[in-house]
Amino acid sequence: MTVQQSRLKTKCQKGFSLLEALVAMAVGLVVVGAGFMLFQQATNASRTTLSKTEMEQNGRAALNFMMQDVSVAATDYQQGVGVPQTGSTKAVFGCTGCSTSTFLNNLATPIMPYDKNSMSSSSDTITVIYVDNTWPPTAQTVVTNNTTAPPSATISAAGDQMTITTANFNDPNGVARNYQDTLYGSKVGDVMLIWNPNGYALASVTAVGSGGVLTLGADALHLNQTTATAANVAALKGGASLYPASTAASRVKIVTYFVTNTAGPDGVMNTADDIPVLMRQVNGDATATEVADYVQNLQLTYDLYDPVSGLWQFAATGIGGAAPTVTDPTQIRKINMALQMRSQNKNSSGTYDYIWVSTAVSPRDLSFSDRYK
């Protein structure tokens, strides 16, 4: 190969110029950048969709859980049972951290709505009451010093002790249980509904002893106020020295739902990673149970019916809210429930995602009315 041919071959193998290489790199970067942006947007959209799906599923599950209690409000229960007050000591329902937990007008109604009552200042609370028919035996007679023999149970003259039958009973599955059974038997914190022709009273079990003895001593709910002048167990004597022979009792559940915060991953309360949760508290339980995490807000409205005027009032707010308010909880016919769910993690913008899930329920024992009466 001659020198001239070598030079010609070298010239033919000449590469891109610096300018051409820069242009090619710029075009490549634009194409890759556009592809990356599309991929990132698709990833963010997918993450957002998954997050909202998870929030909706959790919200629906929480609402379904609430409906199990709300739908049976007033089952085998009265429109309202008076609760005692001694001086400034009023009876309360379990609602840890709530701004208000006293019964409106000292009356335990099947549904007690409160507006903006949770630790989260904008969130509502709801308390429902219904009879727990698993208690053995349901609606048993409880008499004191009565000549009818043999009484199935007795209640003390002061109303601070109740002795129930120790006979075994069958649970909902037909299994024989004892009154001290850990699952279905009597336990500390139970709330008893006691009644006779003189009226109704609520009492809280503070101890379960041998021989069927249930102590109704000083309790966290302040239901067992033996010195109260009315609405306590002793008042059921009606001024007499003995309780009527028809005095009977059942076990009820007083269930409250509210929103509060729990400590996040750092384990410290009142920090940025706190988790908002929906809680359920039953009777005199010292602690509430978590129903669902990342519930930012609980909003409740009510449809009311006035049986006297025959008028409906829709979407009334809870007690303590802006007008129109629920002044008579016995007029509640439908409960509209909405939960604001928050995403577990922040999105690409550094903020949380939120969605609302809602439902409505009309408890049969509240919504039914005899139109032929």
Contact (CB, 8 A) for 96 and 287 = yes
Which has the closest alpha carbon to 117: 104, 130, 129, 106? 104
Interatomic CA distance for residues 206 and 159, integer angstroms: 13
Contact (CB, 8 A) for 65 and 119 = no
Give phi and psi for 27, each to the nearest 5: -60, -45
Burial label for 243, CB within 10 Å (0-12, 13-18, 19+), is buried
Return the structure tokens found at 213: 């003895």
pLDDT at 373: 42
Which has the closest alpha carbon to 98: 81, 119, 115, 113? 119
Pairing of strands 191-196, 248-262: antiparallel
Average pLDDT per run of 10 along the chain, which is 373 residues long? 57 66 79 76 68 87 94 85 92 89 90 85 90 70 50 75 83 84 90 91 94 92 93 89 83 94 82 89 89 93 83 73 75 91 84 91 72 43
pLDDT at 147: 45
Give every CB contact of residue 245 below 8 A, 6+ residues apart in sequence. 141, 143, 146, 148
pLDDT at 156: 86
Pairing of strands 107-108, 81-82: antiparallel
Give the H/E segment covering residue 9: helix 3-12
Give the H/E segment covering residue 64: helix 18-70
pLDDT at 256: 95
**Which residues face 85 on adjacent strands?**
90
pLDDT at 77: 85
